[in-house]
Amino acid sequence: MNPAQGEPSAARALLVAVETYEAGTAWNLDGPVRDALAHRSWLLGQGFAPEAITLLVSPLPENCVLLQEAGVEEQPADRESVHRALFRELAETASDWLFVAWSGHGLVDLDGHRRLVYADAVGRDLRSLDVEAALAAFRSDIAPAHPRQLWLLDACQTFTDAASAANALRPDPVPRGRLRAVREQQVLFACGPGEATGNRVPGAGAGDGVPRASGAFSSAALALLRAHPEWRHDAAQLAAALREEFSAAAAGGEAAVMPTSLWFEGAGHTTRAEVSRAAPRRRLGPADHRRMYDALADLPVMQDPGLRAAVIGHLPLEICASVPRSPVMRIEILALIRTCLVFENGLLHLWDAVSLLDAGTLALSELETVLRDYPEWFTPL
């Protein structure tokens, strides 16, 4: 940062944006690259030296041009690159302020640890950063020279299912050190455990009609940091302002992309700030679940165990990893319905996966008729 502005010059940043995964296109995200480049632009405006910013990116092909236009050399956001950046390069340097921002898929493992999914993850090997272990490392003598830290983590925290993820989620061997007594480490998560984040599409691109997506949490946090740069040292104020903004957006009809809560950790305490919603969704009863089950069970792709697994595999990662698996068709389909209802537009994601594999049967048309009666979760374009 610019010393003339009264800020320290020895500042460092790590920006991670994961849009593509080895698991395939079903896991693709559009938005993290724009989030990372926006953060980089802000940091440069604050006086950061370009070499003090490490950018790890696994972009969608159509977003590679954004990196080229920014003059950024592409470095992958895979496990090896993230570990090297965090636990070798950053851990061995010093800063007066450290900024870490991550945009991509996330989940909560069977031990309750939050995980951030690397670009080289696949369904049978969910390579992911153990967030709790990483934060502990940066509060210890592993990385002793970063007295002030702000971490902004824009990723889902959906719960994984033991049957589907026990063998796929392996320990992430983060270095362990002796914890230090004083450490100003502040962390903001886009949502609380068990919840999902969303993207905001503010408008079309310049002249081409292509939507420009960005993380709702990341874009809002950055806008507030631009307006109040002093909040980078006081994330509690940032969290309070974000809560107010998301509540106002939800009341204005943007609930589909707004987080349901913010999760803040810092100064030895944890706070979950709920975001109010203007129109809570109706509670679905057994008759609703039975109706959805009957419509899904009539589909040939749901009757065959292998095709049913393929449908689940084509769901977004945060939904797929949260579906309890069972060899019993009725149990698995009901669990699939319950899981999809947790997520914004969850039934729409289910429809996309089913219609991709169904050959256009009459049962598929009947399913669409049923789902359209639940616009809170199924809102086709």
Per-residue model confidence (pLDDT) at position 346: 83
175 plus 76 within the same structural domain: yes
pLDDT digits (tens, 9 = 90+) for 262-294: 555 555 555 555 444 444 567 788 999 999 999
- What is the band of 181 on the pLDDT scale with cuts at 50, 70, 90? low
Judgement on whether residues 256 and 217 belong to the same structural domain of the protein? yes
Check whether residue 150 and residue 87 sit in a common domain: yes
267 and 294 housed in the same domain? no
Does residue 209 share a domain with residue 324? no
Q: Are residues 39 and 110 in the same domain?
A: yes
What is the span of the domain harbouring residue 145? 3-274
20 and 148 share a domain?
Answer: yes
Q: How many helices and strands, by DSSP H and E, does the chain display?
A: 14, 13
Q: Burial, 369: exposed, middle or buried (Cβ in 10 Å; 0-12, 13-18, 19+)?
A: exposed
Question: Average pLDDT of 327-346?
Answer: 88
Of 274, 296, 331, the one marking the end of a domain is 274
Q: Does the reported pTM lie above 0.95?
A: no
In-domain check, residue 378? no
The more confident residue out of 193 and 145 is 145
Residues 324 and 259 in one domain: no
Residue 261 domain-assigned (yes or no): yes
Q: Please report whether residue 280 resides in a domain.
A: no
Report helix angle 216-227 to 32-45, nearest 10: 10
Boundary (domain end) residue, out of 240, 274, 308: 274
Is there a domain that residue 379 lies in?
A: no
Q: Tell me, yes or no, whether 381 lies in a domain.
A: no
Split at pLDDT 50, 70, 90, the class of 130 is: very high
pLDDT of residue 89: 96
* pLDDT value at residue 311: 93
- Same domain as 258, residue 335: no
Does residue 299 sit in the same domain as residue 267? no
Q: What is the mean pLDDT of residues 171-200?
A: 79
Would strands 269-274 and 261-266 be described as parallel, antiparallel, or unpaired? antiparallel
Mean pLDDT for 155-169 is 75
Rounded mean pLDDT, 286-314: 93
CATH of the domain at 170: 3.40.50.1460
Residues 313 and 365 in one domain: yes
- As given in the structure block, the two tokens for residue 204 are 């079309």
Q: Specify if 380 maps to a domain.
A: no
Q: What is the pLDDT of residue 241?
A: 86
* Per-residue model confidence as pLDDT tens digits over 39-73: 999 999 999 999 999 999 999 999 999 999 999 98
Give one word for 19, left, alpha or beta, with left for phi > 0 and alpha for psi -120 to 50. alpha
Least confident of 42-56, 142-156, 170-184, 242-256: 242-256
The average pLDDT across 291-305 equals 95
Can you say whether the dihedral through the CA atoms of 65, 103, 76, 48 is positive or negative? positive
Closest alpha carbon to 41 in 82, 101, 97: 101
Instruction: State residue 131's pLDDT score.
Output: 93
Torsion of CA 350, 356, 360, 361, to 10 degrees: -50
Mean pLDDT rounded to a whole number for the chain: 83
Average pLDDT, integer, range 24-36: 92
Per the rule left: phi > 0, alpha: psi between -120 and 50, beta: everything else, 194 is left
Residue bearing the bigger pLDDT, 165 or 126:
126
Are residue 269 and residue 291 in the same domain, yes or no? no
Instruction: Judge contact between 34 and 120, C-beta under 8 A.
Output: no
Q: Domain end: 242, 274, 306, which one?
A: 274
Does the pLDDT of residue 4 top 60, yes or no? no
User: Per the structure, how many domains does the chain have?
Assistant: 2
User: What is the model's pLDDT at position 209?
Assistant: 38
